[in-house]
Amino acid sequence: MSAKLRLLISKCVCMNAREERLRNARRHAEMKLTSDRHLQDVVRMAASVCHVPYAWLCLTDEGGPQVVASEGISPKQLHPLASFLTGLPDQPEVFFANFAERNPQFHAHPVVTGSPAVRFIAGVPVRLGKMVRGGCLFIMDRNARILDSVEQQSLLTLSAQISLLMDLHSAVKILEDENDAIEQTRMALHSIYESDQRFHVLLDHDRRILNNNALFEEFIKNRYGEKMRRGQLFSSYIDSDCLSDFLEGFIGAINGELVHQKSGAFFRADKLNTWREITYAPVKNWKGRVIGVSFTAIDIREKIRRDEQIIHQKQMLNTIAEMQSHQIRKPVASIIGLLELMKTDDKGADAVYLDLMEKSIMELDGKIRAIVDHSSGKPEPPTAET
């Protein structure tokens, strides 16, 4: 592997690590951890078990490091925080600096040069998600000292406890966000569900009603004179002549099929001229298992009426076209023939030809009137002459 390629891979790893750290920090920053009682208790415990007056927890977010809990010292006194976060170990291990006034990293910090004039600083990295150095738990003392093995192990345990608390907070935040998203989706679906001009009914495997929209509930109340009840057997509302069609569609949907039907008076309370377009759709859970059937029905009487009107208009146009191409052609041909005879015959036949021409013209006039009447929508079209 070339040095250039290794450098590029290293940069990518660093960028991914930084993005992961920022994602975790952003999520934790949204949790308002400064008011978290449990984190404050852990920081207080760190000061107690290590017998020091000062302890504090720092996390990193997009805006930089932030003190989220402290014991014995104000977060303002700890700024600038960058001095404490330089050179943190990549592994969960305790690091410390004795005689801080001589340490190049801390000697110029206000907590060393001024109040409270600390001389001992120790800390342990805190994992945030997958990031080992998402933050750090610090302890400080005004006297130089060392940490025994029990105190070091206690700091490591408290660091792990903080990480678990952060994971819990993160999981709760994710669940809250998902619940918000689910609620918004539910509201959007409910809006569509209730504004649609269809009956929507959700049925379980036993053909009982689990849920329905307000339109169907109003239909049951107005037509059956009863209140809609969850758990009601859906088939109790169906006309006996349509039960077989219902069972066919329901079983098809239970088996994972999308079934479409058209039916007349589907419900017992339907009027005789009712026509409905019905759909049975399988309802599946996140595992893909069918857990119910979505029944939808829409009144298509108006659609059928429009379709019948279109068919009637088409028939009228066909009749008019037939009249124009055949029945009108006959008197026109007769007039043309009479004119030719008048040109070649003697004058004595003019009266006869004129009578015949008048008859043809009257016939033509009658056909034209019939076309006008027929195109205006009169029910009885003129019959064709033979």
pLDDT digits (tens, 9 = 90+) for 141-155: 999 998 999 999 999
What Å distances lie between residue 188 and 181, 183, 283, CA to CA? 11, 9, 18
Name the percent of the chain lying above pLDDT 90.
27
Task: Give the pLDDT band (50/70/90) at residue 386.
Answer: very low
Q: What is the pTM of this model?
A: 0.49
Tell me phi and psi for residue 226, to 5 degrees.
Answer: -140, 160
Average of per-residue pLDDT across 233-243: 88
pLDDT for 86 equals 78
Calpha distance 190→196 (Å, rounded): 10
What Å distances lie between residue 232 and 150, 203, 206, CA to CA? 67, 10, 10
291 forms beta bridges with: none
pLDDT, tens only, 119-141: 999 999 988 777 667 789 999 99
Alpha carbons within 13 angstroms on the beta-carbon side of residue 156 total 12
67 forms beta bridges with: 58
Per-residue pLDDT at 232 exceeds 50: yes
pLDDT, mean over the chain:
79
pLDDT for 11 equals 47
What Å distances lie between residue 173 and 26, 32, 38, 66, CA to CA? 11, 11, 16, 19
